[in-house]
Each structure stands twice: as C-alpha cells, then as structure tokens.
Structure 1
Amino acid sequence: YFYLRYTMSYRDLEEIMAERGVQVDHATLNRWVVKYSSMIAASAQSKKRPTLSSWRMDETYLRVRGKWMYLYRAVDKAGNTLDFMLSERRNRPAATRFFAKALSSNGIPNKIAIDKSGANAAAIREVNRILKRFGCPAKVQTIRSKFFNNMIEQDHRFIKRRVRHMCGFKSFESASAALDGIEVANMIRKQQFSSDTTSGFRMFAEIAG
C-alpha cells in the first residue's frame, strides 16, 4: 500500500521497513505488487460504494518497455473512480473492452461524456447495439464535452504523478498490476469505501482480506 500510495521506490520501502526491524528484499516487494494488486483491485470493485449513472471517460498514456500504452479510465460526475484498464492500443476494440468491463462492475449509465475520440464514440455505439441485442431498453447517451471531461483529466494527475517517480515498467503485466494497485489507493483517498477506519493502510488491508 505505501509503495502504491506514496512517491517512494521499492528500495526506499525496503530501507524503511529495515529501520522497523522487518527484513524484506525490494525484489520481493515488486513480486508482491505484481501478484496481488490485480486481485485487490477486483475485490475493491465489489466493495466500493455505489456510483452515479453519469460518467466521464478518457484515456491517458504512459511508457512500457519504451512504447506508449494507454490507460483507459472512467469516473462518475462526483469524481468517484468507476473502472480502469491498461491497453497496448488506443482504438475501437480497446475502448469496447473497457466499456464492457466498466459496465460489468458498475451497471449501465444514463450517459457518458467523452472527448472527440471517434474510437470511443464507436465503442459506445457498439455497446448500445449489444444492449439492444440482449433486449435491454436502456440506451447510453454520448456527450462530447471538453468541459464535462475536464474532471477526469484532472483525476489523471494522481496516477501520472505516482507513475512519474517509478523507474519505468519492464513489462505489460507489471505495469497493469501496479496501475491496478495505484487506482485502489486513489479510491481509498477518495473515501469510496464504507469503513470505520480512517487509516488508508487498514482500509487497503480490509479490501485485500
């Protein structure tokens, strides 16, 4: 949790823990993040408070193995994190996969605000076709608004600030896992979970448990 939440390296955390009498290698910490972060993120989706039906969706970018990759993200109109997905490509199939993932964990929204991306608009049309095929009367409204989407662009900053201090991702798997964990830490910061604890670390442990 401390690695995912704060701007510190694995070696920093190794040293901090050693000062408290806990001996753990920085490589072990890395393996823990890769192994457990995605499972904790899945648990977080089932434990978070209900979200609103007006969404803002956007993607940001980061380097993995020296190549640009894309982090799809969505928040509701109150700024609560809905879902996230790292993708090697920024196109209609990737956007469709992301929307399917977000709908499965958050239900069907009334509307989604996006930027001018044609791929995202095409993905929402595809989602509406799928919903109609399954007899769902609901239709997701698309809003193209820079003003509405400014909220999620601001929300990207927490993720980008944490990633900026990392030494770089060596694989898609490690990048995806670390981003899953960072997103959960961000959700805890936003108080998206019902709990008596005020400690972010304890909340993370409750989600993991």
Structure 2
Amino acid sequence: MAERGVRLTYETSRQWCLNFGQTYTNELKRRRVGLGDKRHLDEVFLTINGKRSYVWLAVDQHGNVLDILVQGRRDKQAAKKFFRKLLKRLQYVPRVIITDKLTSYAAARKEIMPHVEHRQHKGLNNRAENSHQSTRQRERTMRRFT
C-alpha cells in the first residue's frame, strides 16, 4: 500500500484483521494436511496456585497438538474424560494410541475405544513429551504458575 501512496494507520490494519482474519484462518485450516491416524498421549503435572494439577495432552504423528485438558486428578475417570473430549472434537477414532506406562490409559481405552491398538512404551511417546517443553520452560521462567 505504501508503494501506491496509500497511508494506513495501525487501527486500519487491526480492523482489517478483525474483518478478514477469521476467513483466512478457516481457509488455511481447510487446506491443512490431514491429521494422522496415530495419537500420542501424555500427562504432566504442574503446580497452579499451590495445587498440583495435571495437563493431559494429545498430539498426532506430525506433532500437531490436538487437545489439552487440565484436571486435578490422574486416574481412570480423568483419562476417560480426556478420551471422550478428544473423540468428540476430532469425530473419528484413531488407529493407534501411543502412551507412557500409566495404567489409567489402558483401563479407559478398554471402555471407550476397545478396538484401537494401544502401544505403551517409554521411548515411543517422545512426540508428546517434546510438546511439554514449552510449558516446562514457561513454568521455570515464572517460578511456578500463579
């Protein structure tokens, strides 16, 4: 616009983004490469306001974060809630679920998704473990979330 002699203010740019930004976002999401059929699931504990909370995270095989859930417990009911939320949002069942060796995953999978292959191994779940790095770095910087 500057080459053509048109002067724009920051407010004009902001209004343009508000009007057309969502349209561009929707189009980019539509063109995005399809999500993989593998899910890497993991949980990590954080201290928020002095209370221990667990962040449940689902990542696909390409490293895209699919869903995040913060809960105060790490048991079978929490895993079932996370599975239901993940299935509701994605609207299809994955082929493989890769987790660490937390037994809550296996118990919840048997009830929610009995036909899905479940791989439990410490080394296979690195994709989800790496997604926690930004959260851990922010927690270290802030000296715990408050």
Q: Of 77, 81, 87, which aligns to 1:93? A: 77
- 1:162 is aligned with what amino acid? R
Structure 1 CA distance, aligned partners of 2:63 and 2:142?
25
Structure 2 CA distance, aligned partners of 1:57 and 1:87?
15
Q: Of 102, 112, 115, which aligns to 2:86? A: 102
Percent identity between the two aligned chains: 35
Q: Which structure shows the higher strand fraction?
A: 2
Q: Which structure shows the higher helix fraction?
A: 1
Equivalent residue, structure 1, for 2:99:
114
- Quote how far apart the aligned CAs of 1:67 are: 1.8
Structure 1 residue 69 corresponds to structure 2 residue 45:
no
TM-score using structure 2 length: 0.72
Equivalent residue, structure 2, for 1:53:
37
Point out the structure with max Rg over C-alpha.
Answer: 2
Structure 1 residue 153 corresponds to structure 2 residue 137:
no
Structure 1 CA distance, aligned partners of 2:102 and 2:144?
28
Structure 1 CA distance, aligned partners of 2:87 and 2:140?
30
Which secondary structure state, in structure 1, belongs to the residue aligned with residue 42 of structure 2?
A: strand
- 1:104 is aligned with what amino acid? K
Contact 2:139/2:145, CA 8 A, preserved across alignment: no
- Quote how far apart the aligned CAs of 1:102 are: 0.9
Runs of 4+ in structure 1 over 3 Å off: 47-50, 166-170
- 1:95 is aligned with what amino acid? A
Structure 1 CA distance, aligned partners of 2:105 and 2:93?
16
Structure 1 runs not aligned, ≥5 long: 1-42, 130-138, 171-209
- Quote how far apart the aligned CAs of 1:167 are: 6.1
- Quote how far apart the aligned CAs of 1:169 are: 4.2
Which secondary structure state, in structure 1, belongs to the residue aligned with residue 79 of structure 2?
A: helix
Structure 1 CA distance, aligned partners of 2:105 and 2:122?
14
Contact 1:74/1:152, CA 8 A, preserved across alignment: yes
- 1:60 is aligned with what amino acid? V
| Higher RCO (CA < 8 A, seq sep 6+) | 1
TM-score using structure 1 length: 0.51
Structure 1 residue 126 corresponds to structure 2 residue 111:
yes
